Amino acid sequence: MREAAANGQLALLLEVAGTPKPGNVDRRREYPDLRFEHFLAGAVGARPGLERAAGDGPLGEAFERAIGGMSAQSGGNTQFGALLLLAPLVRAAATDRLDPEGATSVVAETTVAGACAFYRAFDHVDVAVGEPPADLADLDVRLGSDALEAVRDRGVTLAEVMALSADVDGVAAEWTTGFPRSFEAAERLLSDDGPVSRRVSRCFLRVLAEEPDTFVVTRNGREVAEEVVRRARAVLDGDADAVALADDLVDRGVNPGTSADITAAAVFVALERGLEV
């Protein structure tokens, strides 16, 4: 049986290998400056950080190490959000707590030092995020290490940093609510059948159809994000073609990254619960 860190790495690989995944890089679709190979290299580079997450050291430092390794390829940000979800889930799995309550307890154990490590992770790679409220400008994650003084002065833990953006960021929302979408999607993966790559693709489509992808909202606007939800539902209902949707979103540069992140987390949970590859 694979250890939690190995399943974390495998989840990243299986997520990008699933096809079609409308708007996302998969083994058949790429962007000019963000290719399939970058995701493979990112998953390899993230492994030492995932191993730290499976240990008993600070979770924030494990995440920063994963991002530092992930970023050691020429494509830039490939799996920031996925690793942000995987870090606490790997810790929960390694300590026999891989359920919503256990993951919540892992999040509750995070510290101010963990928040500082999270901010340092932004020094490694550019991440598309929205503007923070004016009263939180000193905690803008895009400041990276330049925000550390404010983080320490305010005394915010990593969990509290996530809570600040949970209403506008789907990954942060998972952190603050016990990872419900990740666990629910994992159950769908386990109850599905056929090749894992196709199961991952169907899982992604279901996640995409649930609610507007917050990464699309940030980059393309809410109207586009809601359009993507409607079209994903049409695919699931058999009224539209997944391949055509995938090609169209890639052509338009509409990348539902949050849905991909949640899919990666779901694959990890499913692997830990017996998904065979």
CATH at residue 55: 1.10.4200.10
Task: Evaluate if residue 253 carries a pLDDT over 90.
Answer: yes
228 domain-assigned:
no
Domains contained in the chain, number = 1
10 domain-assigned:
yes
12 domain-assigned:
yes
242 domain-assigned:
no
28 domain-assigned:
yes
Pair 37, 27: CB distance under 8 Å: no
132 domain-assigned:
yes
How far, in Å, CA of 118 to CA of 124, rounded? 11
- Quick one: pLDDT at residue 96? 97
Pair 63, 84: CB distance under 8 Å: yes
Which domain does 70 fall in, by range? 4-200+257-272
pLDDT in tens, 187-214: 999 999 999 999 999 999 999 999 999 9
265 domain-assigned:
yes
How far, in Å, CA of 196 to CA of 19, rounded? 10
- Res. 1 pLDDT band, cuts 50 70 90: confident
Mean pLDDT of 240-245: 96
